[in-house]
Amino acid sequence: MATGFPALDRVIGGGLRTRNLTLIGGSPGIGKTITALQMARNLAHKGQSVIFACYEHDEVTLLSRLLHLELAELPTEQRMGQDGRFARRILGRVEAGDLSLGRAIEEAPVLQLPYSTVSGYADRLWLVRASGLHTDIDQIEGLVGDDTDALFVDYLQKVPVTPSIEDEGQRVTTVSHALKELAMSANIAVVAIVASDTVGLRARRLRMHHLGGSASLAYEADVVLLMNEKFDIVSRSQMTHDLTAAESFKNQVVFTVEKNRDGADMVDLQFRKQYEYLRLEPDGETVNERLIDERLIVE
């Protein structure tokens, strides 16, 4: 199932695979939820049945983010003009709970087409507000139906375990194993967002060993995608050669395919941020610059 990011799909064998567990890791604020929701939207838009279980945001927030996504599909003069800017402000009020969606569409008619687009795939994208107290693996498994093609979990470390396990490594092992088993038994693709550990928060470049419970994650996952800010991980010696290009790195995110059970790994792809629309530009490319490698050197 194509993720909608063609460069990534080519590397991982065409897209997400059923019976596989894919992990998306990155530091806080890098855009993990943005990326996962964009993938889920792309799948639903193409006809797949998708569940997005989120421990971080409620359904209203996720819906407003989908409308942001669809705003980006409007003609340039609409999405970048006064009406488009006003619509983004209005959606911010919806997300904050200050305005109902119906009223937002009345006040910003430019949202009517994005809303219609979302409505077209709404019956194939189930947004679920998950609870860190109650939505355990059994609850997640209960969401999956015979017609489900893909399940997204945002995020793995928030999934509670019953009975409770205090040790994070053991808890992550239990959850990751259960998600992999669910992918196989239900014949679906499972995508889970994972958080970094405290060491990873200080690292210049996030690698797989920086993920909380990394040993079990590395074993269970079929594909591991790690997100880093390009500006932070390009070799400083390379930046001095072209300061204009270096400034543009601040608007790019690097996806590293750190593990790929069915194909090439250690491939670095770059995508341009469109975070004003809560999305990434779908067309990415291979990174040409030399990147630092936290596994081997510290510059």
Residue 170: what pLDDT? 85
194-213 pLDDT, tens digit each: 988 777 778 888 888 888 77
Residue 242: what pLDDT? 64
- Burial letters for 235-262: b for 16+ Cβ neighbours within 10 Å, e otherwise? eeebeeeeeeebeebeebbbbbbbbbee
**Range name among 66-75, 156-165, 231-240 with the lowest pLDDT average:** 231-240
Distance of alpha carbon 25 from alpha carbon 17, whole angstroms: 18
Q: In the predicted model, what is the mean pLDDT of residues 74-99?
A: 92
Q: In the predicted model, what is the mean pLDDT of residues 33-41?
A: 97
Q: How confident is the model at residue 243 (pLDDT cuts 50, 70, 90)?
A: low
137: which residues sit within 8 A by CB, 6+ positions away? 159, 161, 175, 178, 179, 182
SS3 257: strand
Structure tokens at 220: 């269970």
**Is the pLDDT reported for residue 296 higher than 60?**
no
Residue percentage of the chain with pLDDT more than 90: 71
SS3 232: helix
Residue 134: what pLDDT? 92
Q: Specify the pTM.
A: 0.93
Nearest residue to 53 via CA among 71, 37, 72: 37
Give the CA-trace dihedral at 208, 214, 219, 222, to 10 degrees. -50
**Domain residue extents for the chain:** 6-55+130-286
Residue 240: what pLDDT? 62
Q: How confident is the model at residue 273 (pLDDT cuts 50, 70, 90)?
A: very high
DSSP assignment of 29-48: TSSHHHHHHHHHHHHHHTT-
| Site of tokens 């009975």 | 163
143-160 pLDDT, tens digit each: 999 999 999 999 999 999
6-55+130-286: CATH superfamily: P-loop containing nucleotide triphosphate hydrolases (3.40.50.300)
Query: Is the sign of the CA dihedral 78, 270, 278, 60 positive or negative?
Result: positive
DSSP H/E element including 186:
helix 168-186
Residue 30: what pLDDT? 93
Average of per-residue pLDDT values in the chain? 91
228: which residues sit within 8 A by CB, 6+ positions away? 26, 27, 30, 205, 206, 253, 254, 256
Structure tokens at 158: 């928030």
